[in-house]
Structure 1
Amino acid sequence: MELSHLGVPVGPLTRIHGGFANRVYRLDTDQGSFAVKELNLLDRRRPYRVEDVFKFERAAFAAGIPMPEPVSASQDTLVHRWVEGETVPEAPVSAEYAFEIGEILARIHALDVEWTHEPTDDPTPRDWPELAQRATATGQPWADELASQVDTFLAIAHFVDTCERPGPVVLTHKDIQPWNLLVRDGRPVVLDWELSGLLDLSGELGSTALSLAKGPGFDDIEPAVFRSVLDGYLAGGGALPPSGPSWFVFMIDGWLGHTRWNIRRCLAGVEARTGPDLAVSHESVRHGICGLPDLFSRLPSLDALLL
């Protein structure tokens, strides 16, 4: 990584462990503190639009969106000013915090930024039986659980491919989840913009609101927190799309793809040079095998959150 433009280091480049997709380091120099993200280019699930994402980030920062200042971007490295703040636990946030996230989403969607890349519409992979067989043959610790859920994962893939999205399509962050947020002086800070792109509005709102309204599972969803995200979006000038399963299909699709990607990394059996640690991939697989079928089974009851 070429980092000389950040100034003279006053300490070592220090890795911050725990990332789900890339690797992050902190660098302190005579010009300040920086978050340096080494992008995983070995096995990305989709192309990374580095120039377009950086332009989008700069526009959001200039518009006052609470986020780290984007400093530079290259094909394999992103640099932002380091922001101190508290991490957001996997638990329902306060209604006030959720309301502000909704307002932030409305402001992001109102940005006038050109985006030339259309969303990809490839069929959802259906290789779950083969993955389960390979997991069993290689002795993966979660092989039995995966094998028992193959039919469910095939049903989820069918749902993802057939669920109607009502629109509109917006240019947005696409991944406002607790692990991509900080709390600074009680207010949100939005991190990790590299998945930004075009997305059906209902999918963005449903994914964000549900992730902020629940704990580790789906037994303690706070409907008032979910609704606060939507109230904030309306207060920020946004308009809500029609209710229906499309509100949750993006969350399910993203989690399905993330689980499959981590399964493939685990089946390789070696620590990749970039991306998450192998132990993190195993944890993500276990979480997906348990959590995705649970989420899918609750789709009918989740509709009640939209009323």
Structure 2
Amino acid sequence: MNLSHLGAPIEPMSRVHGGFANRMYRLDTDRGAFAVKELNLSDRRWAYHVEDVFRFERAAFAAGIPMPEPISAGHDTLVHRWVEGEKVPEAPVSPAYAFEIGEILARIHTLDVAWTPVPIEEPALRDWSELAARAAATGQPWAEELASHVETFLAIAHFVDTCERPGPVVLTHKDIQPWNLLAREGRPVVLDWELSGLLDLSSELGSTALSLAKGPGFDDLRPAIFRSVLDGYVAGGGTLPPSGPSWFVFMIGGWLGHMRWNILRCLAGAETSTGPELALSHESVRNGVCGLPDLFGRLPELESLLM
């Protein structure tokens, strides 16, 4: 990485652990503290539109969205001003925090930023039986659980491909989850914008509201917190789309693709120089083979949150 534009280092750059896709470092220089993200380009699931994302971030920051200041973006490196704040646990947030996230989304969706057209999304892959066989043959610790849910994952892939999206499509963050948020004096700071892009509004609202209204599983799901996100969105000038399963299809499809990506990393069985460590990939797979069927089975219950 060429980081000379950030000033003279005060101490060596230090790794910040925990990223699910890329690797993060903190660099302190005579010009301040910076978050330096090394992008995983070796086995990304899709192309990264660095110029579009950086332009979107700059517009959001200029509009007053609470987020780290974007400093620079290169082929494999993103730099933001370091922001101090408390990590947001994977647990139901406060009503006020959820309401403000809804308001922030409404403001983001009003930004007028050019975006390069993207190809039509490919159908969800259906190779779950093959993956389960490879997992069993290589002695993966989660092989038995994967095999037991092959039919469910095939049903999920069919749902993702056939679920009707009512629109409108908005340019948005696409990944507002607890691990991409900080709390600064109790108020939100939105991190990690690199997945930004065009998305059906219902999917963005459903994914965001659900992630902030529950714990690691789905037994502690707070409908009032879910509604607080939507109330904040309306208060911020947004209009809610029609109710239906499309509110949750992006979250379900994204989790399915993320789990499959980590399965392939585990089957390769080697540590890589970029992206998550192998142990974190195993953890992601274990969470997926248990949690994703549970989420899919709760679709009727989740749709009732929209009533």
Q: Verify same fold: TM over 0.5.
A: yes
| 2:137 pairs with 1:129 | no
Letter in 1 for 2:200: D
CA distance in 2, matches of 1:53, 1:302: 31
Where does 1:20-169 land on structure 2 (aligned, <5 Å)? 20-118=20-118, 120-169=120-169
Alpha-carbon distance in 2 for matches of 1:58, 1:116: 16
State the distance in 2 between where 1:149 and 1:132 align: 9
Q: How far apart are 1:117 and its partner, in Å?
A: 1.9
Question: What is the identity, as a one-letter code, of the residue corresponding to 2:300?
Answer: P
2:211 partner amino acid: S
Q: 1:164 to 1:119 in 2, by over 3 A?
A: farther
AA aligned to 2:130 is E
Deviation at 1:72, TM superposition (A): 0.2
Distance 1:67 1:119, change over 3 A: farther
Runs of 4 or more consecutive aligned structure 1 residues displaced over 6 Å after TM superposition: none
1:15 aligned to 2:19? no
Question: Residue 96 of structure 1: CA displacement?
Answer: 0.3
How far apart, CA to CA, are the structure 2 residues paired with 1:105 and 1:119? 25
Kindly provide the CA deviation profile for residues 203-231 of structure 1, in whole angstroms up to 9, marking residues without a partner as x. 00000000000001011110000000000
Percent sequence identity over aligned pairs: 81
Unaligned runs of 5+ in 2: none
The residue that corresponds to 1:270 in the other structure is: 270
TM-score when scaled to structure 1?
Answer: 0.99
Aligned residue for 1:203? 203
- The residue that corresponds to 1:231 in the other structure is 231
Residues 119 and 204 of structure 1: CA distance in aligned 2, closer, same or farther (over 3 Å): farther
Q: Report the alpha carbon displacement of residue 92 of structure 1 after superposing the two structures with TM.
A: 0.2
Counterpart CA distance in 2 for 1:114 and 1:3 is 28
Q: Is the 8 A contact 1:119 1:197 kept in 2?
A: no
- 1:132–1:146: 8 Å Cα contact kept in structure 2? yes
Aligned partner of 1:2 in structure 2 is 2
Counterpart amino acid of 2:260? R
Aligned partner of 2:259 in structure 1 is: 259
After superposition, the C-alpha distances for 1:55-76 in whole angstroms (9 at most, x for unaligned) are 0000000000000000000010
User: How far is 1:145 from its partner?
Assistant: 0.4
Match runs of 1:214-225 below 5 Å:
214-225=214-225
Shift of 1:118: 3.2
2:228 and 2:48 map into 1 onto residues whose CA distance is: 32
In 1, the alpha carbon distance for the partners of 2:125 and 2:47 equals 17
Normalised by the length of structure 2, the TM-score is: 0.99
Conservation of the 8 A alpha-carbon contact between 1:119 and 1:198: no
Q: How far did 1:116 drift?
A: 2.2
How many residues align? The count is: 307
Kept after mapping to 2: 8 A contact 1:128/1:154: yes
Distance 1:116 1:130 in 2: 35
* Alpha-carbon distance between aligned partners in 2 of 1:110 and 1:210, rounded to the nearest angstrom: 22
Output the CA distance in 1 between the equivalents of 2:300 and 2:120: 27
